[in-house]
Amino acid sequence: MADLKALQTEMSKQSADMGLNLTRVVMGNADSMVKMNVQFAEQTVELARRNMAALADLRDVNQVMTLYQGMVKALVESAMSYGSAVYDSNSKTAAHLTDVVEQGISGIAEHVTSAVDNIASQPGQTPDQMVDAMKNTAASARAAFSEMTQVARKVTRMADENVAAMAKAASDAIDTGLRH
């Protein structure tokens, strides 16, 4: 019975630690997002100010077209850069969250296995089949979570590559459009 109480205590501690770590990661991302939003807003206001100043100095239609093309390019690049930064921040946060959960689950599984081994070492406490079943369940849960984590990371890498390819294609399209 003492082993089960110790296991409950350890699992509660592990769960609380995991919860605190998850909160830290999420709050860190929220802080980062606020800073990015403020920076993007400041850059957008500055860009608008510069464009208005440049608009006041225009003398002919060619200058208007050149300014317009430059404005469009700058706005699209700024929006893409912001979107990329947000995506990058969220991807890193997702990876950190996955790591925290993986470590937490692994720690809990280790405690369960240790408690089961301890209980099993005491004569007459638990049948061997139950011990084996509990060990297999813990090992299966850990393996399934590991596999799920690996798949999630692969999907994240593929998404990162797709976002980078789309950003390059959009940038190339803007450059091509400006040349024509």
- The string of DSSP letters for 71-135 reads HHHHHHHHHHHHHHHHHHHHHHHHHHHHHHHHHHHHHHHHHHHHHHHHHHHSTTSS-HHHHHHHH
pLDDT band for position 20 (50/70/90)? confident
Return the axis-axis angle of helices 2-56 and 61-121, rounded to nearest 10°: 180
pTM of this structure? 0.62
Read off the pLDDT of each residue in 85-103 and give the average, rounded to a whole number.
Answer: 84
More confident residue, 116 or 101: 101
Q: How far apart are CA 9 and CA 5, in angstroms?
A: 6
- Summarised one tens digit per residue, pLDDT across range 3-19 is 667 767 777 787 788 78
Residues 17/118, Cβ–Cβ less than 8 Å: no
Q: How far apart are CA 131 and CA 125, in angstroms?
A: 10
pLDDT attached to residue 94: 84
Read off the pLDDT of each residue in 65-91 and give the average, rounded to a whole number.
Answer: 85
Residues 25/97, Cβ–Cβ less than 8 Å: yes
CA distances to 27, 77, 146, 163 from 104, rounded to whole Å, are 19, 40, 12, 31
